[in-house]
Amino acid sequence: MISRSLLHIPSTLRSIRFMSTQWADAQCVPCSKKAIRELGLKALTAEETRTKIQQLEPGWTLAPQPQVGESSPVPLALQKVFRFRNFATASTFASQLGKVADAQGHHPAILLEWGSVAVWWWSHALQGLHENDFIMAARTDRVASSTEGRKS
């Protein structure tokens, strides 16, 4: 049975929500250098990335990875900024996201500021994007939607 609330959502948005939910329910695969060698894991192509980013909730963009230390080629990452009413709620979100990341063994770069948290996802070992990053982006949206004090 279709939820009444879905009847008022345009079909394109319904499919985005469906795909985003599928991503959020998926599990990350190990993406270590050993797994790359043994399983032949590769970073997504530009075309695959363009297709998959459209399946996420709005707001995710491709942006350079945040860089600390020595300069090196900087592949693109999935990036989104989440807004909150104050520092405490932003910090709570970052902490909750950290727990989700630990459970999946896949960790983002997080920039916590007063009232906002910027999140970047990419696969370090692949030096690019992998399905794991889209799974975690969808899980990030799920954590954000359940965090009190989030601004729309």
Per-residue pLDDT of 94-141, as tens digits, reads: 999 999 999 999 999 999 999 999 999 999 888 899 999 999 999 999
Q: 3-state class of 31 per DSSP? A: coil
Per-residue pLDDT of 6-20, as tens digits, reads: 334 344 444 445 566
Let me know: does 115 contact 93? Beta carbons within 8 Å.
no
Q: For the chain, what are the domain ranges?
A: 4-68+75-145
Model-level pTM? 0.82
CATH number of 4-68+75-145: 3.30.1360.20
